[in-house]
């Protein structure tokens, strides 16, 4: 099971389940023109597209590639009042709490058959509805904690006072509709709020679900207003079209994409966006048969990487032999890279960089 998960969040009928199916390349989740088709979250494992894998396979003359995997969760639609339990709200918010990052999908597509919960397509309102629910849920969490420590903070307990101050700071920002992930926080403050597992601290990637006639990208100036911070991390996807691709052959998909003026599926961008949203980098391991991609948090140590593969690798760690992907390509082979001194032995504390091929030596 992958360690990293992303929740697909949005209003009912935004196209969450459609996007989920498209990502999975199978129609696993029920989609419907009625809101609230999804109650229990659908969970799927998605392969991260990575061109480097194929190249490593070719150079090392291997048989197989094993891509990095991320878990995606199709969460039920949020509605106004979810923080108070409306529309099974508490349950949905609990599902969001469990994921590492959020894909927030909102509707731009026109389809008179599909009802819109607010009656019309206004992305700004839709996004604000979702933000508000996340914010109100977090304010509830904060309020509870604040009341818990108020007494101690007032009585002069230094630690409690620092905690109190941080919680108040977050609370004030939320009150002004600033999400926790937008507030600059120092190390100490981050440490204080970590155990609260706030919803608004999770990184968000925005996805605009557009009509296929608007592919590859609609003109922003012709769209209804979209808030600035959304435009900064926005991917345009036609979820319905991408879902239909799961029924087509590769060359048919290519032809279709070309006819829409696209080079590749927007889902590739979305998955890559999600990957960097989680601040993940990739390292590779090889056997005689295959090369495998592993996702790991940016600047993790060699020891941590070893532990991801096998707890014994970490326990009996001797060293990590590291060959950056680019150096392998430049050298054209493992023996050549080795001869040129491109493979470097590193210790437990070595901080990994993206794209390193690692051979762990252990007892």
Ligand X SMILES: Nc1nc2c(ncn2[C@@H]2O[C@H](COP(=O)(O)OP(=O)(O)O)[C@@H](O)[C@H]2O)c(=O)[nH]1
Positions touching ligand X (CB under 6 A) are 10, 12-18, 31-33, 35, 37-38, 77, 109, 111, 114, 209, 211, 238-240
Query: Are residues 151 and 177 in contact, defined by beta-carbon separation less than 8 angstroms?
Result: no
Nearest to 167 by CA among 143, 187, 133, 188: 143
DSSP 8-state assignment for residue 83: G
Stretch that binds Mg ion, among 31-39, 146-154, 272-280, 287-295 (CB under 5 A): 31-39
For the CB of residue 16, give the shortest distance to Mg ion in the complex, in Å.
5
Which of 21, 38, 180, 238 is the binder for Mg ion (CB under 5 A)? 38
Q: Minimum distance between the CB of residue 295 and ligand X, rounded to whole angstroms?
A: 26
Question: Taking CB under 5 A as the criterion, which residues in 184-213 touch Mg ion?
Answer: none
Question: Encoding tokens for residue 160?
Answer: 């409690």
CB of 19 to Mg ion, least distance (A): 9
The tokens describing 319, both together, are 């060293």
Of the pair 213, 287, the CB lying nearest ligand X is at 213
Distance (Å, rounded) from C-alpha 321 to C-alpha 344? 6
- Which residue's CB is nearer to Mg ion, number 16 or number 52? 16
Contact indicator for 319, 351 with CB cutoff of 8 Å: no
282 binds Mg ion (CB under 5 A): no
Establish if 18 lies at the interface with Mg ion (CB under 5 A): no
In this structure, what token pair is assigned to residue 92?
């949905």
Between residues 7 and 12, which has the closer beta carbon with respect to ligand X? 12
Residue 356: exposure state from Cβ atoms within 10 A (0-12, 13-18, ≥19): buried
> Which does residue 357 touch among ligand X, Mg ion, none (CB within 5 to 8 A, set by kind)?
none
- The yes or no reply on residue 129 touching Mg ion (CB under 5 A) is no
- Looking at beta carbons only, is 266 or 282 nearer to ligand X? 266
13 binds, among Mg ion, ligand X, none (CB under 5 to 8 A by kind): ligand X
Helix (H) or strand (E) holding 287: none
Binding partner of residue 132 among Mg ion, ligand X, none, CB under 5 to 8 Å per kind? none
Contact 167, 193 (CB under 8 A): yes
Nearer to ligand X by C-beta: 236 or 325?
236
From ligand X, Mg ion, none, interface partner of 14 (C-beta below 5 to 8 A by class): ligand X
Q: Which does 114 bind (CB under 5 to 8 A by kind): ligand X, Mg ion, none?
A: ligand X
Nearer Cβ to ligand X, position 38 or 141?
38
Nearest-approach distance from CB 113 to ligand X, in angstroms:
7
Phi–psi pair at 2, nearest 5 degrees: -65, 155
Quick check: 36 and 12 in contact, CB under 8 A?
yes
For residue 280, list its beta bridge partners: 297
- Give bridge partners of residue 107 from the DSSP assignment: 209
Name the residue with the smallest CB distance to Mg ion.
17
DSSP character at residue 247? G
- Given the structure tokens 């396979």, which residue do they identify? 57
Distance of CA 49 to the CA centre of its chain: 14
Residues 163-182 that bind Mg ion (CB under 5 A): none
What's the min distance (Å) between Cβ of 104 and Mg ion? 14
Measured from the CB atom, is 27 or 97 closer to ligand X?
A: 27
DSSP string, 159-186: HHHHHHHHHHHHHHHHHTT--GGGS---
Residues at the interface with Mg ion (CB under 5 A)? 16-17, 37-38
């Amino acid at each position: 099971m992958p360690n990293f998960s992303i929740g697909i969040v949005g209003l009912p009928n935004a196209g969450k389940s459609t996007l989920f199916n498209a990502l999975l390349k199978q129609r696993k989740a029920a989609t419907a023109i009625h809101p609230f088709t999804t109650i229990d979250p659908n969970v799927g494992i998605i392969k991260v597209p990575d061109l480097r894998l194929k190249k490593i396979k070719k150079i090392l003359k291997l048989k197989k590639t094993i891509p990095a995997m991320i878990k995606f969760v199709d969460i039920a639609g949020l509605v106004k009042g979810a923080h108070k339990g409306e529309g099974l709200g508490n349950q949905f918010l609990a599902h969001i709490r469990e994921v590492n990052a959020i894909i927030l999908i909102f509707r731009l597509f026109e389809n008179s058959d599909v009802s819109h919960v607010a009656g019309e397509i206004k992305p700004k309102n839709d996004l604000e509805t979702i933000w508000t629910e996340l914010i109100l849920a977090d304010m509830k969490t904060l309020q509870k904690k604040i009341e818990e420590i108020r007494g101690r903070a007032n009585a002069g307990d230094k630690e409690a006072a620092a905690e109190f101050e941080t919680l108040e700071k977050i609370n004030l920002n939320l009150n002004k509709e600033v999400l926790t992930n937008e507030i600059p926080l120092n190390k100490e403050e981050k440490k204080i709020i970590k155990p609260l597992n706030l919803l608004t601290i999770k990184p968000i990637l925005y996805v605009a679900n557009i009509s296929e006639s608007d592919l590859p990208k609609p003109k922003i100036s012709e769209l209804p207003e979209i808030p600035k911070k959304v435009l900064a991390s926005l991917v345009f996807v036609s979820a319905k079209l991408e879902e239909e691709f799961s029924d087509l052959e590769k060359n048919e998909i290519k032809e279709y994409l070309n006819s829409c003026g696209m080079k590749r599926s927007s889902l590739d961008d979305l998955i890559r966006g999600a990957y960097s949203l989680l601040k993940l980098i990739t390292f590779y391991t090889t056997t005689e048969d295959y090369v495998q991609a592993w996702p790991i948090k940016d600047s993790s140590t060699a020891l941590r990487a070893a532990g991801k593969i096998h707890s014994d690798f970490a326990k009996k760690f001797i060293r990590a032999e590291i060959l950056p992907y680019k150096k392998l390509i430049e050298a054209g082979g493992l023996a050549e890279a080795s001869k040129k001194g491109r493979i470097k032995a590193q210790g437990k504390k070595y901080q990994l960089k993206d794209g390193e091929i690692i051979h762990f030596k252990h007892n």
